[in-house]
Amino acid sequence: MAAPVVKVENLVKRYRELVALDHFQLEIEKGEIFGLLGPNGSGKTTAINCILSLLSYDKGSIEVFGKEMRPDSYDSKRRIGVVTQNVAVFDELTVYENIDYFCGLYMTDKKQRKPCVDEAIEFVGLSDFCKFYPKKLSGGLLRRLNIACGIAHKPDLIIMDEPTVAVDPQSRNKILEGIQTLNRGGATIIYTSHYMEEVEQLCTRIAIMDKGKNLAIGTKEELKRMIKKSEIISIDILDLATEHLDAIRSLEHVYEVSFENQCLQVLCSGGKHNLTHVLDYLQTHDISFGRVYSELPTLNDVFLEITGKALRD
């Protein structure tokens, strides 16, 4: 079998008394879009900086493309592209000059890199803005410039840290479509975001980390099976007596019931016919109801149950 693109074993990173990474483990296979999730302070950025060999660490090992990753691993680093959360471009350079500069860090031959720069500009939809300076670009266009600077040299591994922060819906869609296109072209991608719907849409596997450790890892379906909540039922009802709430709470697979603002909410764990059982009870007891919703757990539900906290900006 081919070696993982990224393999991290037993990684420990300390800042004096603070343990930023606590025996952190990670394997990312070729062709994945791998989501790395966690609240601020969970260790995501530290893990990424260690993988890039921008930070030293106290214990453990890191391999990238099957080789030990060191500060002087220039052959491996040439195959990596980084799109930072904070836009990192030069205000004194135009859009074209910025992309050409960053591509030139990996490709010194100007004739060789020109088609790569042109392709990157077209890829992110900045063909009409080549001569613009960054200060003249909108937030969404700046993000797209930031991405072009990170991928123009056609890296095999791309690390994207919050690439859609504070952009408009059109730019966000353009960026997400571009990420999928890069992946279909063979790039392996590490993706961090606080937007759960993006991670659900893009990522083949996801790791949820906190306090420097991986708490859970798997596909979104595997992660959802790890938590207690398997179905959320919401039903509009004008009034509901306490005795009925107690009876619904006693139904099989129901573990929590609430009734607020004329809305009955039933949380279920397991079972395939929970909604049918709840509606049967209401109809049997001649309880009128309006709109009915049945939802599966989201990735945000998984995150909340596993970490006990919401993602924070």
The structural domains of the chain, with segments of one domain joined by +, span: 6-225, 231-296
Question: One digit per residue, pLDDT tens: the chain, 313 residues?
Answer: 678 999 999 999 999 999 999 999 999 999 999 999 998 889 999 999 999 999 999 999 999 999 999 999 999 999 999 999 899 999 999 999 999 999 999 999 999 999 999 999 999 999 999 999 999 999 989 999 999 999 999 999 999 999 988 888 888 898 999 999 999 999 999 999 888 999 999 999 999 999 999 999 999 999 999 999 999 999 999 999 999 999 999 999 999 999 999 999 999 998 889 999 999 999 999 999 999 999 999 999 999 889 886 555 4
Chosen CATH of 231-296 out of 3.40.50.2300, 3.30.365.10, 3.30.1490.20, 3.30.70.100: 3.30.70.100
Report how far residue 129's alpha carbon sits from residue 48's, in angstroms, rounded to the nearest whole number: 31
- Residue in the block written with tokens 């060789």: 112
Q: Retrieve residue 309's tokens.
A: 């906290």
Q: Retrieve residue 231's tokens.
A: 């179905």
H helix or E strand, kind and range, residue 189: strand 188-192
Cβ–Cβ < 8 Å for 203, 218: no
Report how far residue 121's alpha carbon sits from residue 133's, in angstroms, rounded to the nearest whole number: 14
- Within 10 angstroms of residue 89's Cβ, the number of other Cβ atoms is 20
Report how far residue 201's alpha carbon sits from residue 214's, in angstroms, rounded to the nearest whole number: 21
**pLDDT at 262 (0 to 100):** 96
Q: Retrieve residue 47's tokens.
A: 């893990």
**pLDDT at 313 (0 to 100):** 47
List phi, psi (to 5°) of 179: -60, -45
**pLDDT at 2 (0 to 100):** 77
**pLDDT at 311 (0 to 100):** 52
**pLDDT at 171 (0 to 100):** 85
All residues at 6 or more sequence positions from 179 whose CB lies less than 8 Å from its CB, including other chains: 33, 160, 163, 189, 191, 202
User: Does CATH place domain 6-225 in 3.30.1490.20?
Assistant: no
Cβ–Cβ < 8 Å for 22, 12: yes
- Within 10 angstroms of residue 52's Cβ, the number of other Cβ atoms is 19
Distance of CA 26 to CAs 14, 55, 133, 246, Å?
A: 18, 17, 39, 45
List phi, psi (to 5°) of 138: -70, 170
